A and B are shown apart, each in its own frame.
Chain A
Amino acid sequence: MPLDARAPALRPCPGVRIDGLSLHFGAQPLFDRLSFDLQPGRLTALLGESGVGKTTLLRVIAGLEAPDRGRVSADDALPLGGRVAYMGQQDLLLPWLSASGNVTLGARLRGERPDHDRALSLLGRVGLADRAEAAPEALSGGMRQRVALARTLYENRPVVLMDEPFSALDSLTRARIQALAAELLHGRTVLLITHDPLEACRLADVLLVLQGNPATFSAPISVAGTAPRAVDDANVLTTQGKLLRQLLGGEQ
C-alpha cells in the first residue's frame, strides 16, 4: 500500500543550513555563532541536557523565534518558510475537533478544502481508521500522539521538526510509535529532539549532542543501517555506547 497515495508528490527534500546563529536569553548567551547542517532526507536526532537550548533551536528553525544574528535556510535556494511541519511535546490536538478534523486543521487554516479521504487514509496508516470521528478526549495518550503524527503527515512538508514527541508515552507504546514514525517519515529531512539515547539510536541516521553554554555541537555520530532498527540491533548497541560516553562527557 502506498504510504500516502493522495498526497501531492514531494519534491526532493532539501537540507537545512543553520549559519552563525546567535541568541541571548536575557543576559545569558544561549548560542554564539552556532552553525550546522541538517542532511537532506535524513533523520537527525538532537540530544543534550535540559535547558541547553534544544527546543529554542527547533523553534528558530521553525520560524517561531527570531535569532539575534545568523540565518536558517534551505540548501536548494528556495525559502524554507512553508516547508516545515512541527510536532511538539504535547499532541496539541484541538479538543473541539474530531481526530480527522484535527488532521485536516492545516487545510482549514490555509483556506484550502480539507481532503477527508486523505485524512482517513493517514489515520488508517497510524492504526486509527476506526477512530476518525472520535473526540481527542476519548483517545489514549498514544492514540492522540498518533493523530498528531497523522496531522504532521497531512501537512506533507519536506522538513519535519519534532520536539520529544513521544516522551510522555509508556515505553511499549513509545517503541511502536517510534517505528511507525520512522517508517512514515522516511526520506524527509527530520530533526528530532529526544532525551532517550535508545530512541535516538533506533530512529536517527545522524546523532548530534548539544552541550555547554553558549551551546556547541559535538562531532556528529552516524548510525549505520536503516531505521527503525531493532532494539538489539548491533549498530544500535554500539552507537548507544558511544553516545552515552559522549553525553556523560569526561566522567567515564
Chain B
Amino acid sequence: MKVRNLLRPVLTCLGLVALWWAVHAILQLPPYLLPAPAQVAGALWDNCATLAGGTLTTLTETMLGFIVGTALGAMSALLMVASGHLQRWLLPVLLLSQAVPVFALAPLLVLWFGFGIASKVVMAVLVIFFPVMSATFDGLRRVPAGWLDLAHTMNAAPWRTLVFVRLPAALPSFGSGLRVAAVFAPIGAVIGEWVGASSGLGYIMLNANARVRTDLMFAALAVLSLMTVTLWWAVDRGLRRLLYWSAP
C-alpha cells in the first residue's frame, strides 16, 4: 500500500515527462519555446547553487507568510465568533478586501515594504488569510447543536464551551484551510518576487525569462512545484496525526 502510494505520483511525473519529450520530439519546437527534458535537467544541474539559494529565500518567505497568515486568519475567525458585534463590522470589510485582486496590490506592497522579504511575506499573508479565516469561521459556527446543548445543561461557562467543545470541533475545518494555505502561500511569495526582488525562485524565473533561458525557467518552476508539494504533504501529514479523530 505504502509503496503504491509513492509509486503513483512518480509514475504520473514520469508519464508527464514522457509526454513532454514526445511533444518536443514531434513538433521540433525551438528550445526558447519548449526546451527538452534533458535540457531542463542540465539547467537544473548547472544552476543548482543559484536555485538552492533562491529556494531558501522563497521558502523563508512562504513559511513566514504561512505562519503569520494562519495566525491572523484563525484569530479573526475566533474574534468574530466570540462577538457578534465584531462579526457584523469585520466580515463585510474582510469580504470587501477580497474583492481587490491581491496581485494588483503587489507593486504597492513592494513600494511600502521594500525589495526585501517583508513585501513577499505580506503578499503570502494576504493570499492565505482569507481561506484560513473563512474555513475556521465556518468550522466554529457549524459545531453540532447537540454538543452545545449538552454543554449548556452541564452549566458550562461560554468560554469553557469555546475551549473544550467549539475549538476542537472546528479543528478539522481549520485543517482544510491550512491545506489550502500550504498551496497558496508560495504563489503569494513568487508574485511578490516578480514585482521586485533581488533573490528567490520568482526572481530567477523573471531573470531567465528576460534572457530567454526557458530551460532555467522550467528548472525554477520544477523546484517551486516540488517545494509546494512538499509543504502540502508535510502539513497534511501533521494534520492527520494531530486530528486523529477526523482523519479521512
Q: Which residues of A contact B (CB under 8 A)?
A: 59, 62-64, 81-82, 84-86, 88, 90, 92, 94-96, 105-106, 108-111, 135, 137, 155
B165 touches A86 (CB 8 A): no
Cβ 8 A contact of A92, one of B146, B156, B245? B146
Chain B residue at minimum C-beta to C-beta distance from A106: B154
| Residues on the A chain within 8 Å of B154, using CB | 105-106, 109-110, 155
CB distance from B245 to the nearest CB of A (A): 4
Considering the chains assembled together, what is the distance between the CA atoms of A110 and B147 in angstroms?
15
| Residues on the A chain within 8 Å of B161, using CB | 109
| Residues on the A chain within 8 Å of B147, using CB | 92, 94
List 4 A-B pairs, minimum CB-CB distance, nearest first. Answer: A109-B156, A106-B154, A95-B245, A86-B153
B153 touches A63 (CB 8 A): yes
B 128-160 to A, binary, CB cutoff 8 A, 1 in contact else 0: 000000000000000010110111111111001
Does B164 belong to the interface (CB within 8 Å)? yes
Contact of A88 with B168 at beta-carbon distance under 8 Å, contacts A64-B152, A109-B151, A110-B154 already known = no
| Residues on the A chain within 8 Å of B244, using CB | 96, 135
Considering the chains assembled together, what is the distance between the CA atoms of A76 and B156 in angstroms?
24
A88 touches B146 (CB 8 A): yes
A85 touches B153 (CB 8 A): yes
B151 touches A88 (CB 8 A): no
A82 touches B168 (CB 8 A): no
| Residues on the B chain within 8 Å of A86, using CB | 149-150, 153
Chain A residue at minimum C-beta to C-beta distance from B146: A92
Number of interface residues of B (CB under 8 A): 23
Chain A residue at minimum C-beta to C-beta distance from B145: A64
B160 touches A111 (CB 8 A): yes
Contact of A62 with B153 at beta-carbon distance under 8 Å, contacts A94-B168, A95-B246 already known = yes
Chain A residue at minimum C-beta to C-beta distance from B247: A137
Contact of A109 with B155 at beta-carbon distance under 8 Å, contacts A88-B146, A96-B168 already known = yes
Q: Which residues of B contact A (CB under 8 A)?
A: 144, 146-147, 149-157, 160-161, 164-165, 168-169, 171, 243-246
B245 touches A96 (CB 8 A): yes
The A/B interface has a contact count, at CB < 8 Å, of 62
| Residues on the A chain within 8 Å of B151, using CB | 109
B160 touches A110 (CB 8 A): yes
Chain B residue at minimum C-beta to C-beta distance from A137: B245
Contact of A111 with B153 at beta-carbon distance under 8 Å, contacts A88-B146, A92-B147 already known = no
Given A64-B149, A96-B171, A96-B245, 12 further pairs, Cβ under 8 A:
A59-B149, A86-B149, A86-B153, A88-B149, A92-B146, A94-B147, A94-B168, A105-B154, A106-B154, A109-B157, A109-B160, A110-B157
Chain A residue at minimum C-beta to C-beta distance from B144: A92
CB distance from A182 to the nearest CB of B (A): 21
Considering the chains assembled together, what is the distance between the CA atoms of A63 and B151 in angstroms?
12
| Residues on the B chain within 8 Å of A94, using CB | 147, 165, 168-169
Q: Could you list some 30 contacts between A and B, CB below 8 A?
A: A59-B149, A63-B153, A64-B149, A64-B153, A82-B155, A84-B153, A85-B153, A86-B149, A86-B150, A86-B153, A88-B150, A90-B146, A94-B147, A94-B169, A95-B245, A95-B246, A96-B168, A105-B154, A105-B164, A106-B154, A106-B155, A108-B160, A109-B151, A109-B154, A109-B156, A109-B157, A109-B161, A110-B155, A110-B160, A111-B157
Chain B residue at minimum C-beta to C-beta distance from A62: B153
| Residues on the B chain within 8 Å of A63, using CB | 152-153
CB distance from A111 to the nearest CB of B (A): 6
Chain A residue at minimum C-beta to C-beta distance from B245: A95
Chain B residue at minimum C-beta to C-beta distance from A151: B150
CB distance from A63 to the nearest CB of B (A): 7
| Residues on the B chain within 8 Å of A85, using CB | 153
Considering the chains assembled together, what is the distance between the CA atoms of A238 and B214 in angstroms?
90
Chain A residue at minimum C-beta to C-beta distance from B148: A64
Considering the chains assembled together, what is the distance between the CA atoms of A63 and B243 in angstroms?
33
Highest count of chain B CB atoms <10 Å: which of A84, A95, A135 = A95
CB distance from A210 to the nearest CB of B (A): 21
